């Protein structure tokens, strides 16, 4: 697969967002409403968002606080029951305290809606080197389909935020965690500080008002039959325990 335009790929800078984009009142309301999986009206999500972000006057500061709470407070795990709808739901993610990239993106979007920030989720297919040998064996590939991120409407533009990999997991892999300032797109750079490739964006699937669970499950069934049948659940810390530093010889 070849990278599609957008995301700053035209400039080779995945952190650069495009120009200001105005929204109608109807569009703003759509991305503030609770939905099936971005269930911002669920009590656990409301409590989480208000505890972390409060009701301060600065939407950017609220978004940043929520981002770090989801990134580091929710353990990343790819060992989930992907056939269960609860695996993808924001409220279930915050109750579990763990989830994979899509669930964590849904939680960030849901929490943002609670505090008045229009939010949606987006997806991309990526080649990911942040994987353990066991996960690679179960997946049969290093391509992660439907890698999830949150898209937050801040300062008159959509800003992408990717809270997937928590700080402790990144430390185990020997890479820097992804930061977010509420102004620039927060997407993984192709190389880490030592020049090793760790994540490559292949195809942008675009933004969605809610998680397209049926499409994700169908894609996973086709591409990851081993993962779908072998993994129903595991301790949230298992993947972190399997993580090892990316080798210096990791191919570019």
SS3 135: helix
Query: What domains can be seen in the chain, in order of their start residue?
Result: 25-237 (3.10.620.30)
Three-state SS letters, 4-72: CCCCCCCCCCCCCCCCCCCCCHHHHHHCCCCCCCCCCCCHHHHHHHHHHHCCCCCHHHHHHHHHHHHHH
- What distance in Å separates the CA atoms of residue 37 and residue 35, rounded to the nearest whole number? 6
Residue 206 Cα to chain centre, angstroms: 13
Judged by average pLDDT, the poorest of 37-46, 104-113, 194-203, 219-228 is 194-203
Place of tokens 């591409």: 223
Confidence at residue 110, expressed as pLDDT on a 0 to 100 scale: 98
Strands (E) in the chain, as ranges, are 75-76, 98-99, 119-128, 143-154, 157-161, 199-208
pLDDT tens digits along 201-215: 899 999 999 999 999
Judged by average pLDDT, the poorest of 8-12, 171-175, 192-196, 220-224 is 8-12
Mean local confidence (pLDDT), 39-62: 93
Burial of 17-32, coded b for 16+ CB within 10 Å and e otherwise, reads: beeeeeeeeeeeeebb
Who has greater pLDDT, 7 or 109? 109
Residue 139, pLDDT > 70, answer yes
- Model confidence at 193, pLDDT cuts 50, 70, 90, reads low
Confidence at residue 147, expressed as pLDDT on a 0 to 100 scale: 95
- What distance in Å separates the CA atoms of residue 39 and residue 110, rounded to the nearest whole number? 6
pLDDT tens digits along 58-97: 999 999 999 999 999 999 999 899 999 999 999 999 999 9
């Amino acid at each position: 697969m070849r990278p599609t335009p957008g995301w700053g790929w035209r400039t080779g800078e995945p952190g650069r967002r495009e120009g200001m984009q105005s929204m109608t009142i109807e569009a703003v309301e759509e991305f503030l409403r609770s939905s099936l999986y971005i269930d911002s009206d669920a009590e656990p999500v409301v409590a989480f968002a208000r505890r972390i972000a409060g009701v301060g006057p600065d939407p950017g500061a609220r978004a940043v606080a929520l981002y770090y709470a989801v990134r580091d407070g929710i353990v990343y795990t790819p060992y989930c029951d992907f056939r269960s709808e609860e695996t993808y739901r924001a409220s279930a993610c915050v109750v579990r305290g763990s989830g994979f990239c899509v669930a964590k993106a849904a939680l960030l979007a849901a929490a943002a809606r609670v505090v008045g920030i229009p939010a949606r989720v987006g997806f991309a297919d990526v080649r990911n080197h942040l994987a353990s040998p066991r996960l690679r064996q179960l997946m049969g590939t290093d391509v992660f389909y439907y890698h999830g991120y949150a898209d937050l409407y801040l300062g008159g533009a959509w800003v992408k935020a990717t809270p997937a990999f928590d700080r402790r997991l990144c430390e185990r892999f020997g890479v820097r965690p992804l930061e977010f300032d509420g102004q620039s797109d927060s997407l993984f750079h192709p190389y880490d500080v030592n020049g090793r490739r760790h994540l490559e964006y292949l195809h942008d699937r675009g933004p969605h008002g809610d998680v397209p669970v049926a499409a994700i499950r169908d894609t996973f069934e086709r591409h990851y039959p081993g993962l779908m049948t072998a993994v129903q659940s595991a301790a949230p810390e298992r993947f972190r325990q399997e993580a090892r530093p990316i080798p210096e010889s990791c191919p570019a």
